[in-house]
Structure 1
Amino acid sequence: MAVMVMNAPSAWDALDGVNLPRGYRVEITEGKIIMTPQGEYQWKVILKAAPQIEQQLAAHGDILSDVMIDFPSSEYGYAPDLAIVAPGAERNNRGRFEWHSLEAVLEVVSKSSRDNGFNKKFRLYAECGIPVYVVIDPEVGACTVHRGPTRTGTYDDATDIAFGQDLVLPLQGREITVRTDGFPKSGDLD
């Protein structure tokens, strides 16, 4: 995979030298730093999905969780819940992966993030050409797999998968299958 060295400022540069509180997710949207506590549903989904993905990737890619990714705009700095990095992808001169290194992004939606961030993420991920974007919604008990990104900020295809069915991630030349039967639904943890 070709490496693009990013010379433009990164949104993450605004946080250089800042001590951030533990237990908070930090992202940058439209130049604004947004800190939110990680929810229990989000954490439990990540704990269930990440090992399944990592085991199937073996040496053909990598998985990251809540790790800073450089996007082609200094206005956006996202750290996806789960990001699958393409085999052979290399870090930029800042030591981070860039958007074009990602084969898939999985985000767990919560009540507080549903309206605020996911429309912007959907648009940015599509514009950046991230091939697979999955929204996992514990309130609904379903995952939506978006494929076929367009430069206009949409995806050509969306498939809903109910919790309990297998979530299949179509990656470059291979598929990853995630069992969702252990994903918590809203109300399961009450």
Structure 2
Amino acid sequence: MSGVRCRGYRALRALVESSQKCIPGKLEITREGIVHDVPTPLGRHELTVARIRRLLEKLTPERLAVHSGTPDVEDEEIGVLRCPEIMVIAESDMECDGSIDPRTLVAAIEVVSRSNPDNDWVGKVRDYPLMGIPVYAIFDPRTGSGAVFTDIHSTPDGPRYAVRKDFVYGEDVTIAEWTISTRDLPRYA
């Protein structure tokens, strides 16, 4: 990262860190700047996160964590900081101070917020392969559908996912090597 860009990213990172406690939702840094994501309605959004997490925890081996919450994932070299709602990661890769290296994730999972769906459907579809996250699953309670993105490949615009598998709530969905049901996931009213 060039010196000017690096200083700019560090300034944005400092702003996010100082503001996060007093601003509801999540602040993330993309190559375009800061994104503010306020999940609404909070109850159904968090219930979706909890149910997906529980389903995956039943299937993943003990050495893997199905984690939601902090810390975030950060690639300072490219100037991107993201906060996946759920990440599947080896517990040993969580033994770090600060942000998690995104290249250690097995999968990142997002539940679309009503306030900013493009953050998940556009921004993260662009940023996650750039960060080296091999599997990205999106659950969209607005529409009762989602998609799983895999197979990062190079393009003239940078790394992108080559495969997109769409699903609707009620179907089983495979994330990495684990298949879960979407039958009991809530939708936004």
TM-score bracket for the superposition, by shorter chain length? 0.7 to 0.9
Q: Following the alignment from structure 2 to structure 1, what is the Cα–Cα distance between the partners of residues 37 and 67?
A: 19
Question: Is the contact made by 2:103 and 2:131 (CA closer than 8 Å) also made in structure 1?
Answer: yes
Change (3 A) 1:49 1:104: same
Give the match for residue 26 of structure 2.
25
C-alpha change, 1:19 and 1:109, in structure 2 (3 Å) is: closer
- TM-score scaled to structure 1, two decimals? 0.77
Paired residue secondary structure (1:156): strand
**Contact 1:125-1:153 within 8 A present in 2 as well:** no
Among candidates 174, 183, 186, match of residue 185 of structure 2 = 183
Segments ≥4 residues shifted beyond 3 Å: 8-19, 30-36, 72-75
Is 1:42 the counterpart of 2:41 in the alignment? Answer: no
1:52 aligns with 55
1:136 matched to which residue of 2? Answer: 139
Is 1:99 matched with 2:102? yes
Aligned residues: 175
Please identify, of 68-77 and 147-156, the stretch whose mean Cα deviation from structure 2 is larger. 68-77
Q: Is there any run of 5+ residues in structure 2 with no aligned partner, and where?
A: 1-5
**Distance (whole Å) between structure 2 residues aligned to residue 57 and residue 138 of structure 1:** 24
TM-score normalised by the chain length of structure 2: 0.77
The structure with the greater share of residues assigned to helix is 2
Structure 1, unpaired ranges of 5+: 1-7
Q: Distance in 2 between matches of 1:14 and 1:22?
A: 12
CA contact (8 A) 2:106 2:134 kept: yes
Q: Report the RMSD for the aligned CA atoms in angstroms.
A: 2.6
